[in-house]
Amino acid sequence: MTQISEMTRLSESSGVSIIFPAYSEEQRLPRTLGELDRYQSQFDGDFEVIVADDGSSDGTAALVNREALTTPWLRLLRRPRSGKGAAVCDVAPLPRWGIHEPTTKL
């Protein structure tokens, strides 16, 4: 698993970066990661998902760490609990392909 200090930003390449803030999502995350894997397999380009674990009290971080061993597009950032907005802001400088405003609501 890549630690934050080892992450680099490759701003000139192209791809998709998804920031996924998570707080105690151990039960729901496997389904979400499965859906992202299906999407990624059809995507023509580079792809990454950064899970920003916002101080989860369950096994969210452990699950992401296990999945990342066999999922090269998955990264984890662990941080103390301070809310979804703060989690996204902490991760915002890390995507390899920059930040763009969404065109639709999720």
Which tens digits make up the pLDDT trace of 18-51?
888 899 999 999 999 999 998 888 877 788 888 9
Name the pLDDT band for 94 (thresholds 50, 70, 90).
low
What is the value of pTM for the model shown? 0.69
Give the pLDDT score at 48. 87
Give the pLDDT score at 79. 83
Which tens digits make up the pLDDT trace of 6-17?
344 434 456 788
Structure tokens at 83: 């809310």
Give the pLDDT score at 95. 55
Residue 53, CA distances (Å) to 1, 15, 32, 42, 65 in order: 14, 23, 15, 26, 11
Domain parsing of the chain, residue ranges: 4-91
Q: CATH number of 4-91: 3.30.2310.20, 3.20.20.410, 3.90.550.10, 3.40.1390.10?
A: 3.90.550.10
